[in-house]
């Protein structure tokens, strides 16, 4: 399985923060693929802070982060070779269940630099 | 084991009582998911080697584990024990000072197997820097101040009459990040692990010294789990330890050297010759960089605790290393 993991992980950012703060000059690797970002909201559309967001590639490699105060998150570290369609975003928080995940289609005809996905939670 | 496996196993066992029940058991065992925490900084470094070999050689699969790597973002050595506690991972790679610090703060995390002993960290500088004393007044990229990399570099600098107050310090997590700082020309010198230290030297950067010149042998990284989780899942832990032990045997096997070199190349991105030199360095007499089978060296852990005491991170009386390990899983896996 690591046969693909070895080519799946680009040098992951060390200083990244949920929501995108803290990306410094060290954070980009030439072989890195797009960033995955978005917001986690509740059923009324209010932001959910400190939700756990997982970006999983074929279940065997997962990057995990948490949302900031605005419900925002951002992760990167997958290599360019990884198709965004193979990366699944999920969100979770105690007392909630995942309602739905909505991925914004990337602009056509342009290289994909980032992939926006909104995740909705519902209180249990 | 999942309910579906038990049901399927029973059904098959009714038809063919022994052979197929065993086969079904093995098949079901593959459903045992084990989430392994890996620091972002380790993902493309040599420190992922034991797990990478176990994965690539099918050792986890052979043990019936569905092995999954989870990388917390933001990463950092200090985040790995947190990932155990918030149920992000089941077991995790962690550098020993961070395990000790977390345990002293109340965590029930313990080391269940060793991953790396006695690391070789090279202090590599820009070509115009001739010697360690030349670093006075310059910017040096160091790792987490609480970690053993920085502790060993402080000692190396001190051996050459340089105090930390004599240099400017930038904290940079992970060898690839520190190498980038050196290449950008921002850092005058940085500690690098393998294979990037060898790569940097091949690019003209200068080796000023190695950590082993300044510090005695110590236990560097381990796999840790919460005592409570491990006690509730002993079978998964033993299977993991058994796979890791087999990985170390493969890494040491001269006949498997080509396969191990290939894994280093694919994981770290260095040329095969550099990967070869890395392994040759690790197996130099007296280096003792890699455990034989994941065994935990308590004296090496005691040395880490002593480092932390010297650095003022923990106060006397220093705790015994036994407090931070649980050796039962190594024993059950047949590792002495």
Q: Quick one: which of B157, B11, B174, B154 has its CA closest to B93?
A: B174
- The verdict on domain B31-118+218-332 having CATH code 3.40.190.10 is yes
For residue range B256-272, list pLDDT tens digits in order.
999 999 999 998 889 99
| A3 contact B CB<8A | yes
Q: Where are the domains of chain A?
A: 2-123
What's the angle, vertex CA B147, arms to CA B68 and CA B282, rounded to 5? 70
Q: How confident is the model at residue B5 (pLDDT cuts 50, 70, 90)?
A: very low
Q: Could B44 and A25 be called an inter-chain contact, meaning their C-beta atoms sit closer than 8 Å?
A: no
The per-residue pLDDT for A34 is 92
| A5 contact B CB<8A | yes
Name chain B contacts of A61, Cβ cutoff 8 Å: 68-71
**Closest-CA distance of chain B to residue A119, Å:** 18
Residue B251 CA to residue B192 CA, distance in Å, equals: 22
**Closest-CA distance of chain B to residue A110, Å:** 27
Taking CB atoms and an 8 Å cut-off, how many pairs form between chains A and B? 99
| A62 contact B CB<8A | yes
Summarize the confidence of residues B4-26 as an average pLDDT: 37
Q: Could A62 and B70 be called an inter-chain contact, meaning their C-beta atoms sit closer than 8 Å?
A: yes
Residue B251 CA to residue B49 CA, distance in Å, equals: 9
The per-residue pLDDT for B15 is 36
Dihedral (Cα; B233, B238, B244, B248), 10-degree rounding: 160
Bridge partners, B72 (sequence order): A64
Q: Are strands A96-103 and A114-123 parallel, antiparallel or unpaired?
A: antiparallel
If one looks up domain A2-123 in CATH, what number appears?
2.60.40.1120
Q: Are B175 and A26 contacting, i.e. CB atoms less than 8 angstroms apart?
A: no
Give start-end residues of each CATH 3.40.190.10 domain in chain B.
Answer: 31-118+218-332, 122-213
Name chain A contacts of B174, Cβ cutoff 8 Å: 11, 14
Summarize the confidence of residues A94-102 as an average pLDDT: 96
Query: Whats the size of chain A, residue-wise?
Result: 124
Write down the ipTM of this complex.
0.81
The three-state secondary structure class of B285 is coil
User: Beta strands of B29-186 (E only): which ranges?
Assistant: 32-37, 65-72, 91-95, 109-117, 122-125, 139-142, 168-171
Residue A118 CA to residue A51 CA, distance in Å, equals: 12
Name chain A contacts of B193, Cβ cutoff 8 Å: none
| B70 contact A CB<8A | yes
Q: Are B113 and B241 contacting, i.e. CB atoms less than 8 angstroms apart?
A: yes
| A69 contact B CB<8A | no
Q: Are B218 and B111 contacting, i.e. CB atoms less than 8 angstroms apart?
A: no
| B255 contact A CB<8A | no
Domain B122-213: give its CATH architecture: 3-Layer(aba) Sandwich (3.40)
Residue A44 CA to residue B24 CA, distance in Å, equals: 47
The per-residue pLDDT for A29 is 64
Is the pLDDT at B92 greater than 70? The verdict is yes
A-chain residue closest to B71, CA distance = A63
A-chain residue closest to B60, CA distance = A1
The three-state secondary structure class of B86 is coil
The percent of residues in chain A predicted with pLDDT above 90, rounded, is 56
Per-residue tokens: A119: 């995740």
Residue B50 CA to residue B42 CA, distance in Å, equals: 12
The per-residue pLDDT for A9 is 66
pTM for the full predicted model:
0.84
Summarize the confidence of residues A81-110 as an average pLDDT: 92
Q: Quick one: which of B303, B278, B307, B308 has its CA closest to B290?
A: B278
| B224 contact A CB<8A | no
Mean pLDDT lowest among A45-54, A93-102, B142-151: B142-151
């Amino acid at each position: 399985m690591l046969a693909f993991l070895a080519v799946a992980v680009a040098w992951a950012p060390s200083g990244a923060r949920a929501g995108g703060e803290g990306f410094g000059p060290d954070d980009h690797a030439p072989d890195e693929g797009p960033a995955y970002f978005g917001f986690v909201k509740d059923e009324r559309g209010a932001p959910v802070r400190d939700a756990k967001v997982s970006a999983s590639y074929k279940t065997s490699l997962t990057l995990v982060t948490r949302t900031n105060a605005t419900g925002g998150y951002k992760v990167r570290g997958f290599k360019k070779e990884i198709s965004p369609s193979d990366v699944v975003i999920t969100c979770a928080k105690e007392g909630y269940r995942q309602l739905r995940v909505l991925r914004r289609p990337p602009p056509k005809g342009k290289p994909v630099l980032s992939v926006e996905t909104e995740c909705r939670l519902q209180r249990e | 084991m999942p309910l579906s496996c038990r049901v399927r196993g029973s059904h098959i066992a009714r038809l063919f009582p022994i052979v197929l029940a065993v086969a079904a058991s093995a098949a079901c065992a593959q459903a045992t998911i084990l989430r392994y925490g890996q620091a972002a900084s380790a993902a493309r470094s040599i420190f992922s080697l034991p797990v990478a070999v176990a994965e690539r050689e099918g050792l986890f699969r052979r043990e019936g584990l569905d092995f999954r790597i989870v990388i917390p973002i933001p990463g950092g050595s200090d985040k790995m024990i947190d990932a155990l506690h918030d149920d992000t991972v089941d077991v995790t790679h962690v550098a020993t000072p961070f395990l000790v610090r977390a345990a002293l703060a109340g965590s029930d995390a313990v080391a269940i197997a060793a991953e790396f002993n006695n690391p070789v960290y090279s202090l590599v500088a820009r070509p115009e820097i001739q010697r360690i004393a030349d670093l006075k007044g310059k910017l040096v990229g160091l790792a987490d101040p609480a970690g053993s990399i920085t502790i060993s570099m402080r000692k190396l600098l001190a051996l050459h009459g340089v105090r930390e107050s004599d240099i400017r310090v930038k904290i940079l997590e992970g060898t690839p990040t520190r190498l980038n700082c050196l290449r950008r020309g921002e850092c005058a010198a940085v500690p690098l692990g393998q294979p990037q230290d060898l790569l940097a030297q091949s690019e003209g950067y200068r080796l000023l010294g190695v950590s082993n010149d300044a510090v005695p042998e110590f236990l560097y990284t381990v796999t840790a789990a919460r005592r409570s989780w491990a006690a509730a899942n002993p079978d998964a832990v033993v299977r993991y330890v058994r796979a890791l032990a087999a990985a170390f045997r493969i890494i040491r096997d001269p006949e498997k050297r080509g396969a191990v070199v290939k894994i280093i190349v694919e994981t770290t991105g260095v040329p095969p010759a550099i990967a070869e030199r890395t392994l040759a360095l690790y197996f130099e007499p007296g280096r003792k960089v890699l455990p034989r089978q994941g065994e935990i060296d308590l004296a090496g852990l005691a040395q880490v605790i002593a480092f932390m005491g010297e650095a003022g991170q923990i106060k006397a009386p220093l705790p015994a290393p036994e407090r931070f390990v649980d050796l039962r899983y190594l024993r059950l896996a047949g590792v002495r």
